[in-house]
Amino acid sequence: MRSKNPLRFIYATPYAAWLLLFVLAPIAVIVYYSFFDLSGHLTLANYRNFFTSIYFKLTISSFWYAFLITFFALLISYPTAYFLTKTRHKQLWLLLIIIPSWINLLLKTYAFIGLMGVYGPINALLEAVGIGSQQILFTDFSFVFVSVYIFIPFMILPIFNSLDKINPTLLDASKDLGANAWVTFKRVIWPMTTDGVKSGIQVVFIPALSLFMITRLIAGNKVITLGTAIEQQFLVTQNWGMGSTIAVFLIIFMFLIMVLTSGKKGGIIK
């Protein structure tokens, strides 16, 4: 049936070229560069370096922060997406959720520098309720909070879409068969939205592993992630070899996470 393709082979060329030039070639050059040292000699020193305790600690803490960020983003986004599908003008509300992500990331981050600052409104509020002003900026809390804030719209979107696709008669059927709200959620709604949740986790966890702008502006260089390390090697020390080596490991982690979160991806294609 699909054999009579209205697109002739030649139309596929731009897409195929993109796959080759911007998906396969970049991975190849990263792997290639990871075997060279600063003076251009073929070496395995970069890999030896990566297995020292510094980079090991870095990797662990990077994963821990990414986990926290993803966890809180999911915790907040799922109910939000669920309630959104129940509103009258749900597409408009969804748009309103997306609008903040159109406002430049850097502007929002900058706003938090002001909001969380010593003289900012959050501290003024804490002062007013008697807790007293705290050092909020440049802590783990501020880093995780701002990151979660940035990622929420990207987590809500796929979950909203998968919730929106659920046929409401299924919920009625579940109710008619005697399931209470919790059982309906656990046995009907949640299983049907796991694909949305998985893609939400994908779009949050992996970028969270490699944040570097927020670590610099909000965490004040206290939090170092794999992303920060790569940026440092590429743009500050100009050691592309070491930077590429860290990138190779980040790519490996990325593939592992992709495999873990897309177990049933074949389900998309009938």
Partner 1 sequence: MKKLGILPRIYLAAVFVILYAPIFYLIYYSFNSGDGMSHFESFTLDHYQAVFQDTRLLIIVLNTVIIALLSALLSTTIGVIGALTIYFMKNKSARQAVLSLNNILIVSPDVIIGASFLILFTLVGVKLGFASVLISHIAFSIPIVVIMVLPKLLEMSTTLIDAARDLGASRKDILTRVILPYIKPGIFAGFFLALTYSLDDFAVTFFVTGNGFSTLSVEIYSMARTGITLTINALSGLIFLITIILVLGYYIIGNKAKSPQGVKK
Whole-Å CA distances, 61 to 82, 83, 217: 32, 34, 18
Residues 103-122 that bind partner 1 (CB under 8 A): 103-115, 117, 119-121
Assess 141 for contact with partner 1 (CB under 8 A).
no
Alpha-carbon gap, residue 137 to 139, rounded angstroms: 6
Alpha-carbon gap, residue 155 to 77, rounded angstroms: 6
| Residue whose CB is less far from partner 1, 27 or 131 | 27
Pick the binder of partner 1 from 38, 45, 58, 98 (CB under 8 A). 98
Pick the binder of partner 1 from 43, 49, 61, 80 (CB under 8 A). 80
Tally of CB atoms within 10 A around 80: 17
Q: How far is the CB of 86 from partner 1 (least distance, A)?
A: 5
Assess 5 for contact with partner 1 (CB under 8 A).
yes
Cα atoms found within 13 Å of the Cα of residue 154, Cβ hemisphere only: 20
Report which residue type is found at 230. I
Residues 220-259 that bind partner 1 (CB under 8 A): 226-227, 230-231, 234-235, 240, 243-244, 247, 250-251, 254, 257-258
Residue 239: strand pairing partners:
none
Assess 33 for contact with partner 1 (CB under 8 A).
yes
Listed in order, strand segments (DSSP E) in 159-225 are: none
Alpha-carbon gap, residue 37 to 20, rounded angstroms: 27
Residues 204-223 that bind partner 1 (CB under 8 A): 206-207, 209-210, 212-213, 216-217
Region from 39-47, 79-87, 126-134, 181-189 binding partner 1, contact rule CB under 8 A: 79-87
Eight-state DSSP code of residue 236:
I
Residues 144-203 that bind partner 1 (CB under 8 A): 149, 152-153, 202-203
